[in-house]
């Protein structure tokens, strides 16, 4: 009987970012909010991968791309368990866990159709009022939006 373990190896990236520990079922959401569909360089992604810590996880490797704080805040909202790993010359130069911020500005749409942000050129601003269940409160109309209703701009 052959007891060799079989693994599929994915090439390391020379430069770029690895987004690891994405919750199961959220890889496509992360790719979507980062607008990676039209990205020109290599992207490797895996979903439903075995994880000792989470059971199942997703991973995205993006060549030649580093993310701004506003993009990392989006990742934190969609994938709060994610880890950001920056790579330069095949070496890890920075590894951080994403953190849901206390406030998000200009990245989430207000759920209230009557809110001023949906009718005028006003930058959206939300306070995170529940990080565990993810609920945000609009600075302008004070409408509370739950995780399942959050839309990104």
pLDDT value for 10: 64
CA distance 99 to 81: 8
Q: Distance (Å, rounded) from C-alpha 95 to C-alpha 141?
A: 37
CA distance 146 to 137: 9
Q: What tokens appear for 35 in the block?
A: 């607008």
User: Cα(127)–Cα(144) distance, rounded to whole angstroms?
Assistant: 9
Predicted TM-score (pTM) of the model is 0.83
Determine the pLDDT at residue 114: 96
Going along the chain from its start, the domains and CATH numbers come out as 16-97 (3.30.70.140), 103-152 (2.30.30.20)
Residue 124 in tokens: 């959206």
Whether 112 contacts 138, CB under 8 Å: yes
Which contiguous run of DSSP H or E holds residue 28? helix 27-33
For residues 153 and 144, give the distance between their C-alpha atoms in angstroms, rounded to a whole number: 17
- Burial degree of 109 (CB within 10 A; 0-12, 13-18, 19+): middle
Is the Cβ–Cβ distance between 98 and 83 less than 8 Å? Answer: yes
Positive or negative, the Cα torsion across 8, 35, 88, 96?
A: negative
Q: Report yes or no: 128 and 104 within 8 Å, Cβ to Cβ.
A: yes
* Per-residue confidence in pLDDT tens, the chain, 153 aa: 555 565 656 678 999 999 999 999 899 999 999 999 889 999 999 988 888 877 899 999 999 999 999 899 999 999 999 999 999 999 999 999 999 999 999 989 999 999 999 999 999 999 999 999 999 999 999 999 998 899 888
Q: Are 83 and 22 in contact (CB under 8 A)?
A: no
pLDDT score for 37: 87
């Amino acid at each position: 009987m052959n007891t060799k373990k079989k693994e599929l190896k994915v090439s390391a990236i020379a430069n770029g970012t690895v987004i690891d520990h994405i919750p199961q079922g959220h890889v496509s959401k992360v790719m979507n909010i980062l607008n990676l569909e039209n990205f020109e360089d290599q992207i490797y992604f895996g979903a439903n991968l075995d994880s000792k810590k989470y059971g199942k996880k997703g991973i995205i490797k993006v060549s030649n791309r580093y993310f701004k704080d506003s993009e990392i805040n989006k990742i934190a909202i969609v994938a709060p368990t994610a880890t950001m790993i920056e790579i330069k010359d095949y070496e890890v130069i920075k590894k951080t866990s994403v953190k849901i911020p206390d406030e998000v500005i200009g990245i989430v749409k207000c759920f209230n159709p009557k809110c001023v942000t949906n009718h005028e050129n006003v930058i959206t601003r939300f306070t995170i009022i529940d990080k565990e269940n993810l609920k945000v409160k609009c600075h302008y109309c004070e409408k509370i939006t739950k995780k399942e209703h959050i839309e990104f701009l």
